[in-house]
Amino acid sequence: MSQPKLAILDDYQGISAPHFTHLSSRISISQFPSTLDPRDPRQQEELITRLRPFDVILAMRERTPFNAETLGALPNLKLLLTTGTRNRALDTEFCAARGIPVAGTVGRASGGVHSTVQHTWALILALARHVARDDAALKRGEELWQGSLGMSLAGRTLGLVGLGKLGVQVGRIAIEGFGMEVIAWSTNLTQERADELAKGVGLAEGSFAVVRDKLRFFGRADVVSVHHVLSERSRGIVGRRELDAMKRGALLVNTSRGPLIDEEALLETLNAGGIAGAALDVFDPEPLPRDSPWRTTAWGEDGRSEVVLTPHMGYGDEQIHGCPAAFANSAISTTSLPAGSLFAKITTATPSKKAYTSVQTSRNTHIELNSDLVFCNHSCNPSLNFDMAKMEVRVVDDRPLNVGDALTFFYPSSEWDMDQPFECNCGAGEGRCKGVIRGAGGMKREELEGYWLNAHIEEMVRERDGF
């Protein structure tokens, strides 16, 4: 039986590898860090050729879109994974029709200020205080010591395009941190809703003033920051008319999605010095090609506006690297069986060295399971027993297995000394959960009581304890 093939796409920073090492003996993993854009027919063809062999594809964020045309050309695809819980670049309706499950990861616990909000403020301040311009000038060794003065934010107006979770946080910092006025606009935003949101973060009613007329909104703001979901309707939501309505001294910041702003209109506006500056973290396409005018134009010179660019860094900070829960998988039972009954026969196992994924079958032998059984996690209150002498997986003796139960077994029932001890989070509760799981060799006889154990483990415990 050949191993399932997993393709990991667009992992620019190489952060995914540690999360898949425990599966590397069972699935063949390929990394494709360079993005192909299916809107270009040649790249589309290359993308399909690249991905055709794969059973599982991990789409990192919205970097590679998967439309029906691409998905329809991937006959081997059985599972589509994505980071996060919302990925608008995937045609999930098509996946549903084809019976391809799409799975995402739960968000990390939010505490403090969201990284996109921090990045938004870093960009607003970088522009308003000419940080990037002055830094570059100093390093180029220019004679000029000081350029034009920075913008003072107090009393200025911040205009939020979109008043969702991020817009609200950006607005709150504008009011509490910088003494700015905040106005907001989006298609169906009402003052009542804006007041509710303001109260939700401890601000007074009216703190976010809704301006219903879109062009008046753009005409009033000194800083416009975009915090809007991208959809077909919101594409180009900031267009030529809106840019023309902005004040000459105003700043525009986009940390949401590139296509929300009409790029051609923005380039023209900035080339003509129509606004003071723009700071962009998002583009279309990404990564931004080397010959993109964003990268090659002498911004801030000859009457052009100042431009600050970052490579889509607003979404993630160090938190994204250290969230094991976001990558935890589990197997769930789709059948109900009585206590003690046979759940599965292990028929395709291969001998293995001791590894994170192996199961110990005797004093000194180990196997790889080569099946979905690999998704059975450890629990201190397991639903299954792995009988490695009979090569059987059975429902535990003291309770039945029900549809929806997690499929788990007690690792020390087969493992003496595990390759990778781990801190258990089985949720079995105080007294029942054993904490750090290292295998039976690291546990007292009393701790193993009440668990069904493989014969080799019972023998080894007896030998160790001398009775």
203 part of the interface to Zn ion, by CB under 5 A: no
User: In this complex, which beta carbon is closest to Zn ion, that of residue 22 or of residue 214?
Assistant: 22
Nearest-approach distance from CB 426 to Zn ion, in angstroms: 3
Separation of alpha carbons 290 and 272, rounded Å: 23
> DSSP letters of 56-97?
EEEE-TTSS-B-HHHHHT-TT--EEEESSS--TTB-HHHHHH
User: In this complex, which beta carbon is closest to Zn ion, that of residue 374 or of residue 426?
Assistant: 426
Interface with Zn ion in residues 348-387 (CB under 5 A): 380
Interface with Zn ion in residues 275-304 (CB under 5 A): none
User: In this complex, which beta carbon is closest to Zn ion, that of residue 229 or of residue 428?
Assistant: 428
Separation of alpha carbons 449 and 186, rounded Å: 62
User: In this complex, which beta carbon is closest to Zn ion, that of residue 256 or of residue 385?
Assistant: 385
Angle between helices 191-200 and 165-178 (to 10 degrees): 70
Angle between helices 131-140 and 115-128 (to 10 degrees): 60
Helix %, strand %, coil % for the chain, to 5?
A: 30, 20, 50
Nearest-approach distance from CB 441 to Zn ion, in angstroms: 17
Site size for Zn ion (CB under 5 A) = 5
For the four alpha carbons of 161, 167, 168 and 171, in that order, the dihedral sign comes to negative
Nearest-approach distance from CB 448 to Zn ion, in angstroms: 13
Separation of alpha carbons 36 and 14, rounded Å: 17
Nearest-approach distance from CB 20 to Zn ion, in angstroms: 24
| Residue labelled with tokens 């250290």 | 322
Nearest-approach distance from CB 382 to Zn ion, in angstroms: 10
Nearest-approach distance from CB 393 to Zn ion, in angstroms: 19
Is 425 strand, coil or helix? coil
Nearest-approach distance from CB 387 to Zn ion, in angstroms: 21
Centre a 10 Å sphere on the Cβ of residue 444 and count the other Cβ atoms it contains. Answer: 10
DSSP β-bridge partners for residue 350? 368
User: In this complex, which beta carbon is closest to Zn ion, that of residue 54 or of residue 451?
Assistant: 451
User: In this complex, which beta carbon is closest to Zn ion, that of residue 327 or of residue 422?
Assistant: 422
User: In this complex, which beta carbon is closest to Zn ion, that of residue 244 or of residue 447?
Assistant: 447
Interface with Zn ion in residues 394-453 (CB under 5 A): 424, 426, 428, 433
Positions that interact with Zn ion (CB under 5 A): 380, 424, 426, 428, 433
